[in-house]
């Protein structure tokens, strides 16, 4: 029978103890991912724009789901580059780019935003446009008569429902009354509200306005 010396026994015990202790040591914690709302890229993207005709305040990205931030995404489509695609079911607008990419914008939709679909084109663009509510809206809300076309419309500004920019959609040279436009109510992006067409954050509609020439095709799904 082999007899263990006290030194051998203590050494072995220490070794086993070390293994046991090392087995209980937790792994280094993985740092939490910084929210995109705190990313300088998006803070800069949605910065205040004092250079605008009507200075725009900054947008707080934390009030908007990250998927609705302006971003380049993979997007497979048969639509040619330069086309606009509005997916009303997902609250996204895509500007189709080369090589299977697209610039994607989050949008909000009103009742009018669900009333029309099909193919058309951007026939007109306006920076800080006037707003003239259609007669159907005035019938529902008589107080809007003061902004009707008969009274010259609502002047541009931060309170104007069309926001900083508007892109007007025509089909067969006829105004569809369907618009892509800005909004100061950026918390409505990704939601359906009572009125309006397709609204983007003001900073996003300004970006889109610069990228989309008159005559660009648009498909509304």
Cα 22 from Cα 18, distance rounded (Å):
6
C-beta of residue 200 within 8 angstroms of C-beta of residue 46:
no
Cα angle vertex 200, ends 37, 129, to 5°? 135
Q: Which of 197, 198, 212, 218 is catalytic?
A: 197
C-beta of residue 208 within 8 angstroms of C-beta of residue 167:
yes
Please say if 24 is a catalytic residue. no
Cα 100 from Cα 113, distance rounded (Å):
27
Structure tokens, 98: 């080369």
C-beta of residue 65 within 8 angstroms of C-beta of residue 190:
yes
Please say if 181 is a catalytic residue. yes
DSSP letters for 89-121:
TTTEEEEE-STTEEEEEE-EE-GGGGT--EEEE
Domains and CATH numbers, the chain: 36-220 (2.40.440.10)
Q: Which of 181, 205, 207, 220 is catalytic?
A: 181
Q: For every one of its 221 residues, what pLDDT tens digit does the chain have, with 9 covering 90 and above?
A: 444 444 443 444 444 444 444 444 445 554 566 666 677 887 899 999 999 999 999 999 889 999 999 999 999 999 999 999 999 999 999 999 999 999 999 999 976 556 678 999 999 999 999 998 888 888 888 888 888 889 889 999 999 999 999 999 999 999 988 899 999 999 999 998 766 689 999 999 999 999 999 999 999 99
């Amino acid at each position: 029978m082999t007899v263990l010396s006290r030194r051998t026994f203590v050494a072995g015990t220490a070794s086993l103890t070390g293994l046991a202790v090392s087995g209980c040591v937790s792994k280094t914690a993985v740092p939490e991912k910084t929210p995109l709302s705190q990313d300088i890229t998006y803070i800069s993207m949605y910065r205040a724009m004092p250079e605008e005709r009507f200075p725009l305040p900054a947008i707080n990205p934390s009030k908007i789901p990250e998927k609705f931030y302006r971003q380049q995404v993979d997007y497979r489509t048969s639509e040619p580059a330069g086309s606009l695609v509005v997916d009303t079911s997902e609250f996204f607008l895509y500007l189709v780019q080369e090589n299977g990419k697209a610039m994607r914008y989050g949008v909000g939709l009103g009742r009018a935003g669900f009333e029309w679909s099909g193919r058309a084109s951007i026939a007109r663009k306006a920076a800080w446009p006037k707003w003239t509510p259609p007669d159907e809206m005035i019938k529902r809300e008589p107080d809007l008569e003061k902004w009707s076309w008969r009274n010259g419309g609502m002047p541009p500004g931060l309170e104007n429902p069309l926001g900083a920019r508007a892109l007007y959609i025509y089909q067969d040279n006829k105004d569809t009354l369907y618009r892509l436009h800005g909004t100061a109510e950026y918390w409505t992006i990704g939601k359906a509200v009572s009125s309006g067409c397709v609204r983007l954050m003001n900073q996003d509609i300004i970006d889109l306005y610069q990228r989309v020439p008159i005559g660009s095709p648009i498909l509304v799904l």
